[in-house]
């Protein structure tokens, strides 16, 4: 069985001065997860390891560096799901938990359920999770933005990971600090199975990112997985899922997918999305903040012809100036 892993650092606007930090953070995360997989570890262990890296990096909106709510506090959500027995676990609106993804995995391994607020915090403390003062999760930049009531345009929202291990098990995980100036207790899509994540070994696994209030009504993660039916490529399935969201509600979103063959897919309707992935076929991990960069790299490497990209990514051929270009359908 092949190995594969993909991570995302959120779908939103990434300003030029933050591209390098997003690249470095996503690469570090995918390398941490890949090390677990190549050492014989499980997909669950790999997803947890990768997301813990992102939760510790203030570049991303998860764990340390999360956005602040209207009370000036960090409340985090996270969930994880495995595709063998459809086991899952989640936490929401928790404070003082340094790595919520680890708590979500503890819950999944014990008994699938979603724990919120004080209940989740008690479970985390009772089971040896890494606790901290709630103030310790506040990074300088989001604190300054909150104090000055700045309009935040470049803090990617939500991180996630999907992995396939040697046993053929698929696992998806998602973690977030929510939205800037959200009311205390607000819970988005991240911790909700079918919305922020989904995994089924018969089809694939997905982690989403974006506007939770838009993702929830279209059940975005499960919608993306359903589009994998009939051996559809994950890139096409991801695009169809985002197209479904765009046709029904307003809002920005993105998703990453792996199918049971370890094929990679991802897309978004925001300006940017930070993504890194590694598979057994690649010599080293790759990282992008724009889908167009991935398309160009695959063309240059000769992995796909323009016609294959048109078919796989739902694009149109555009003729002009004696050359052919590719544009979004």
Catalytic pick from 158, 169, 174, 176? 158
Residue 20 to residue 289: CA distance in whole angstroms: 10
Residue 42 to residue 290: CA distance in whole angstroms: 29
Q: Is 154 helix (H, G, I), strand (E, B) or coil?
A: coil
Residue 306 to residue 299: CA distance in whole angstroms: 7
**Catalytic (active site) residue 158:** yes
Dihedrals phi, psi of 325, to nearest 5 degrees = -125, 170
Q: Are 90 and 84 in contact (CB under 8 A)?
A: no
Beta strands in the chain (DSSP E): 4-12, 76-82, 88-94, 114-116, 159-164, 170-176, 197-200, 204-210, 253-259, 264-268, 272-279, 286-288, 315-320, 323-328
Give the β-pairing of 204-210 and 315-320.
unpaired
The neighbour count for residue 117, using CB atoms within 10 Å, is 16
Q: Are 51 and 30 in contact (CB under 8 A)?
A: no
Q: Are 299 and 315 in contact (CB under 8 A)?
A: no
Q: Which residues are catalytic?
A: 158
């Amino acid at each position: 069985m092949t190995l594969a892993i993909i991570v995302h650092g959120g779908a939103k606007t990434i300003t030029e001065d933050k591209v390098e930090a997003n690249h470095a953070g996503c690469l570090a995360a995918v390398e941490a997860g890949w090390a677990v997989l190549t050492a014989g570890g499980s997909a669950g262990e790999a997803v947890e390891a990768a997301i813990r890296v992102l939760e510790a990096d203030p570049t991303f909106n998860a764990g340390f560096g999360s956005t602040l709510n209207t009370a000036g506090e960090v409340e985090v959500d996270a969930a994880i799901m495995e595709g063998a027995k459809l086991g899952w676990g989640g936490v929401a609106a928790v404070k003082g938990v340094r790595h919520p993804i680890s708590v979500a995995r503890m819950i999944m391994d014990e008994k699938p359920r979603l724990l919120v607020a004080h209940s989740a915090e008690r479970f985390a403390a009772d089971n040896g999770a890494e606790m901290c003062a709630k103030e310790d999760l506040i990074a300088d930049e989001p604190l300054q933005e909150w104090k000055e009531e700045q309009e935040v345009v470049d803090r990617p929202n939500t991180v996630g990971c999907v992995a396939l291990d040697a046993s053929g098990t698929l696992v998806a995980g998602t973690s977030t600090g929510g939205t800037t100036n959200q009311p205390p207790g607000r819970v988005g899509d991240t911790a909700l199975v079918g919305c922020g994540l989904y995994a089924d070994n018969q089809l694939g696994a997905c982690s989403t990112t974006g506007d939770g209030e838009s993702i929830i009504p279209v059940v975005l993660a499960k919608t993306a997985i359903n589009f994998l039916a009939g051996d559809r490529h994950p890139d096409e399935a991801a695009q169809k899922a985002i197209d479904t969201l765009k046709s029904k509600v307003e809002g920005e979103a993105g998703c990453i997918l792996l199918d049971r063959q370890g094929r990679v897919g991802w897309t978004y309707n925001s300006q940017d999305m930070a993504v890194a992935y590694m598979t057994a076929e690649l010599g080293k991990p790759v990282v992008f903040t724009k889908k167009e960069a991935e398309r160009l790299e695959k063309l240059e490497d000769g992995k796909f012809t323009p016609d294959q990209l048109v078919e796989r990514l739902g694009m149109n051929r555009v003729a002009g100036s004696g050359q052919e270009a590719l544009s979004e359908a």
